[in-house]
């Protein structure tokens, strides 16, 4: 059990650029969740997968956000045309429900 990993740990980008984050869950966990955490707040749920199926999309913040989990293994979260308001920590968690285990997060800064 190597834990949940996320890459990159930090990303600095300019407004309008696209960014993609990767999450590798604990191998035997079939559920994977994405959250966003802004300064001074608790994490906010974005979307989740059961194996390769994305079962909830409506909580993604806008149509600029999308996520995939091909083959039910790693997952990617993409933000298109980034805005300064997208600056936050993006967290991934994998789960044998109801418990969730989090990765180290990706800190996004949009200039």
Q: Site residues (CB under 8 A) for another protein?
A: 4, 6, 31, 33, 35, 40-45, 48, 55-56, 91, 93, 95, 97-105, 107
> Of 12 and 55, which has the nearer Cβ to another protein?
55
Q: How far is the CB of 97 from another protein (least distance, A)?
A: 4
- Eight-class DSSP state of 9: S
Cβ proximity of 8 and 90 under 8 Å:
no
Residue 5 or 80 with smaller CB distance to another protein: 5
**Angle at CA of residue 69, ends 9 and 100, nearest 5°:** 65
The span from the CA of 86 to the CA of 107, in Å, is 10
Nearest distance in Å: CB 51, another protein? 14
Nearer to another protein (CB atom), residue 24 or residue 43: 43
Helix/strand/coil for 104: coil
Rounded to a whole number of angstroms, the minimum distance from the CB of residue 86 to another protein is: 18
């Amino acid at each position: 059990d190597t834990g949940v990993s996320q890459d990159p740990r930090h990303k600095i980008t300019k407004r309008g650029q696209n960014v993609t984050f990767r999450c590798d869950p604990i191998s035997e966990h079939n559920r994977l969740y994405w959250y966003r955490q802004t300064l001074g707040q608790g994490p906010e749920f974005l979307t989740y997968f059961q194996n390769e199926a994305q079962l909830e999309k409506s909580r993604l913040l806008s149509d600029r956000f999308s996520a995939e989990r091909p083959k039910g293994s790693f997952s990617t979260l993409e933000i298109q045309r980034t805005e300064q308001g997208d600056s936050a920590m993006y967290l991934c968690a994998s789960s044998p429900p109801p418990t969730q285990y989090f990765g180290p997060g990706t800190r996004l800064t949009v200039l």
